[in-house]
Structure 1
Amino acid sequence: MNIVSRSAFPVLVTDVHAIGMIGVVRALGGAGYPVIACDAEEDALGFSSNFVRQALVCPPYGRHDFIEWLRDVIVDHGIRAIIPSEGFLVAVRAHYDEFSHLMPTPSRASLVYDCLSKTAVIGKFIEAQQTAHLPTTYLIQAEQELPTEAELATLSFPLFVKGDAADAREERGGFVCAVQSAGEACRLVRERLVDFRRILVQAFVPGVGVGAHFFVKNGAIKQEFMTRCIHEVPHTGGYCSLRGAWWNDEIMRDARAKVLCLGWEGVSMLEYRWDKFSGKFWFVELNPRFWASLHVALYSGINFPVLLVDSARGATVSVSSPQVRPVFVRYTFPFDVGYVVSRIRDKRLPFLQKAKSVAEWFLLFFDFRVRSDLLFPGDRMLYLIQFYRFIKSLVVRGGS
């Protein structure tokens, strides 16, 4: 096979405002790939990366001229691969067959869009009898009988009502809403089924977020990795602002079975909740695209983006042993600040715990094991840009 060199293989990386896609830009650009970055936001943080060959502002995904813009970019820049975000995949759904040869995703559109749907993923696990470690879940479609308040009242609260952009009747983003009563859940389900073909209601499960990360090629797992969330925003559960490399054999066994059951090819992250007190865990969702905690793998020497694109261009890929090193990665501004603020504002926490959280936040700057998402070797300016934006937002809010 005549393998095209990396320098002759331009890659379009989408949605570079997102921290996971910034990690993709750095990984590919650092490996010698010409990276063309695109985003609808003119000030997308990833545009300022030293690893971007060219930055392109694209039309918003919902606009009628986006597809024509994409066609022109592919021709004008000789694009050989596209790293899609979820939003990008939803935007090109009607044209998936036209662009699928450029995306390192499954060739079958139905598999791709089912894997973008939490409802479809859970449904496939139930159909394949892969029901171990699933939270109690109701899968709901408009034409089916809806669960009653009495049925939902038996679940653990809060309940989470979820819908995905892949299941929207028109182009719109997905949603996740936490509700505190069965009646509120029923009302929200009825309202959302107007805009979404299918949604799910899921019971609360305790614990912290953990991720099982995979690169799958030809039905075989080639690379795997795990992370655990340490700080979430808010602290009761949400976006992970401090995470670290981690390993759990039992969760990984379950994740391997689930990702292979789905038949997904390429990269993916299976998200779980893990209760460290009981050792129990529950599958929450599949992310069949690059994830926010990608920098933990990069700092640990596991380069998922390069594995993916090297494989796509026909090169032989070498994998790394997922040895757990003491690597922690923090998204300091604004997210880890938000973690501390959420603890300070929580009236249930005693003063000493709040004070401890504030002290820990400062002490993390002196922990050599803690890296920064944005203070990346060869690309440290992004940290300063984000810090400036954070301070500016505080000044604007303070003056309003």
Structure 2
Amino acid sequence: MKIPVFVPDAHARACIAAIRSLGRAGYEVHAGSSDYNALGLKSKFADHSVVYPSYDDSTFIEWMRDYIARHNIQMIVPTSGILWALKPVFNEFKPLLPVGTDEETVFDCFSKTTVVNKFINADSKFGLMKNHPRSSVVNLTEPFDPDVLPGSKTGYYIKAEKLRTCGAESACSFLFTETSEEAFAALTLMSTNWEYALVQEACSGFQIGVSVFMDNGKALAVSCVRDCHPLPHSRGTMSLRESCWLPEVAEDTIKRLSYLNWQGCAMGEYRYDEQTKTFNLIEINFRYWQYLHLDLWAGMDYPLMQAQWFLDGKSNFENKPKLNVVCRDTWPGEVAHLVNEWRRKDVNYSAKARSFLMFFARGLNPNIHSDFWFPGDRALYLKNFIRYIGSEFKNIFQR
């Protein structure tokens, strides 16, 4: 008899990968989203598809209680959205969530300023500010001056969080500034809407992702991916990635997750400088990650491992990923990267022409996988492509 599991946020790419992982492994997958157009609801690996109230709807928690009881759900795949929605009743639902059982520990990890503050204030013996950009956490509810900014010759990334009572939800919460004067002006402006801000020195290098599955301070599985594009997208997405192995970066991620007492799956995002062989942490995402399909192709089935750990008590897994496996987000990721590169003034025309040709060459290469072109569920690729084209035409005619 199939074990029923609930996968929320079926509109998200990572959750579609989780639906496919658990469905092909024989679980009874209940895919859900507040968006009735969510692609994951149409996956062939979803035994049941359901549209639920939005997370901020007062009826959502009661809806969730009823659905779990009626379908005997044994596990809820944890996403940041569903965890925040269930926070008021976390103790009630935690027997179904494959994360830690301490509420404060779990939700502290979803605050970037809290996580970095913990690294800053940790005993130096842990080395948590090594391989970490110079950073500061600014309390925007109190007076501050330019001295709060960390030193940087490469610019600043600023991430604000915790909306003020009188703050506007549409207010800017993330930006890059080139100078300390611009950064201070941005913080002053952000202080009208947000309570805290994380200010970090900008780092060079290509993007690295480290996927980890943790249990009681030990990594049950770990793998690495790298961005294949020499010039990263300005928004930081990895649309073309390759599985690789960087032990020192993997060890750094495990050390940090262990210090934070994180249970379950998470992904560390880094910048790696090939010339100096140095790397810096950008952030940790305490949920499934956008490139999860690549991990599935590389033999690292994190959703399945997490389900077996949580439901069956299994703790020994084969954690040797296949290396040099390449997977891409064709629509819209690769197209967006191509457009982004063509708009850049620091890229010459020959390089732009080469990128244009390579986009089509990769599509003809049978060794390069695509997120949505997944065995047994390839109709989603076509659905995603049609949606992308429709969205682009809509944008053109609305201009």
User: Which deviates the most, 317-326 or 242-251?
Assistant: 317-326
Match of 1:259 in 2: 257
Q: Say whether the 8 Å CA contact 1:83–1:103 is kept in structure 2.
A: yes
CA positional deviation for 1:143: 5.0
TM-superposed CA distance for 1:320, in Å, is 1.6
Match of 2:381 among 368, 383, 388: 383
Give the aligned partner of residue 17 of structure 1: 11
Separation in structure 2 between the aligned mates of residue 392 and residue 326 of structure 1, nearest angstrom: 34
SS of match in other structure, 1:12: strand
Q: CA deviation at 1:55?
A: 1.1
Counterpart mapping for 1:202-351 below 5 A = 202-231=200-229, 235-236=233-234, 238-351=236-349
Report the count of equivalent residues.
391
Deviation at 1:185, TM superposition (A): 2.4
Taking structure 1 as the reference length, the TM-score comes to 0.92
How far apart are residue 153 of structure 1 and its match? 8.3
CA contact (8 A) 2:113 2:137 kept: yes
Q: CA deviation at 1:360?
A: 0.8
Instruction: Identify if the C-alpha distance between structure 1 residues 71 and 156 changes in structure 2 by more than 3 Å, giving closer, same or farther.
Output: farther
Amino acid at match of 1:74: I
- The structural deviation recorded for 1:14 is 1.0
> What's the offset of the Cα at 1:234?
6.4
Q: Secondary structure at the match of 2:239?
A: strand
Within 2, Cα distance between the matches of 1:106 and 1:203?
A: 31
Sequence identity (%) = 31
CA RMSD of aligned residues (A): 2.2
Shift, 1:207, TM fit: 1.2
Residue from 149, 152, 155 that aligns with 2:152: 155
* CA distance 1:81–1:232, shift in 2 (3 Å): farther
1:108 aligns with 2:102: yes
Equivalent residue for 1:120? 114
Partner of 1:72: 66
Return the alpha-carbon distance in structure 2 between the equivalents of residues 308 and 152 of structure 1: 40
The 8 Å contact of residues 100 and 263 in structure 2, kept in 1 or not, is answered as yes
Deviation per CA, 1:201-231, whole angstroms, max 9, x where unpaired?
A: 1111011211111111233211111111124
Paired AA for residue 161 in structure 1:
I
Q: Distance in 2 between matches of 1:195 and 1:56?
A: 35
Deviates more, 1:95-104 or 1:371-380: 95-104
1:75 alignment partner AA: A
User: Is the Cα–Cα contact under 8 Å of residues 208 and 227 in structure 2 kept in the other structure?
Assistant: yes
Spell out the pairing of 1:23-172 with structure 2 (5 A cutoff). Answer: 23-128=17-122, 129=124, 130-142=128-140, 144-148=142-146, 152=149, 154-164=151-161, 167-169=162-164
Cα displacement (A) at 1:253: 2.0
Letter in 2 for 1:372: S
> Per-residue deviation at 1:191?
3.9
Q: How far apart are the structure 1 equivalents of 2:291 and 2:230?
A: 12
Counterpart of 2:38, as a letter, is A
Q: Give the 3-state SS of the residue equivalent to 1:91 in structure 2.
A: helix
Describe the shift of the 1:304–1:147 C-alpha distance in structure 2 as closer, same or farther (beyond 3 A): farther
CA distance in 1, matches of 2:68, 2:332: 35
1:37-56 deviation line (CA, Å, top 9, x unaligned): 11111101111100111111
User: Which deviates more, 250-259 or 225-234?
Assistant: 225-234
Secondary structure at the residue paired with 2:347? coil
The 3 A distance-change label for structure 1 pair 305 and 85 is same
Whether the 8 Å contact between 1:155 and 1:203 is mirrored in structure 2 is yes
Question: Could you tell me how far 1:169 is from its partner in structure 2?
Answer: 5.0
Q: How far apart, in 1, do the equivalents of 2:142 and 2:397 lie?
A: 51
With over 3 angstroms needed to count, the CA separation of the structure-2 counterparts of 1:95 and 1:153, relative to structure 1, is closer
2:367 equivalent in structure 1: 369
Distance 2:63 2:181 in 1: 45
Q: Which amino acid aligns with 1:58?
A: Y
210-219 vs 136-145, which moves further = 136-145
- CA-to-partner distance for each residue in 1:184-208, whole Å, 9 max, x for gaps? 3223323434544422111110112
Amino acid at match of 2:135: T
Shift in alpha-carbon separation, 1:151–1:178, aligned structure 2, 3 A: same
Displacement after TM superposition at 1:366 (Å): 2.5
Evaluate the alpha carbon distance shift between residue 210 and residue 126 of structure 1 in structure 2; reply closer, same or farther with a 3 A threshold: same
**Structure 1 CA distance for aligned equivalents of residues 338 and 318 of structure 2:** 35
Can you give the 5+ residue segments of structure 2 that lack an aligned partner in the other structure? Answer: none
Secondary structure of the structure 1 residue equivalent to 2:15:
helix
Q: Which amino acid aligns with 1:192?
A: M
Cα deviation, residue 233, structure 1: 9.2
Separation of aligned partners in 2, 1:175 and 1:296: 30
Following TM superposition, the consecutive aligned residue runs of length 4 or more in structure 1 with deviations greater than 6 angstroms are none
Distance 1:232 1:384, change over 3 A: farther
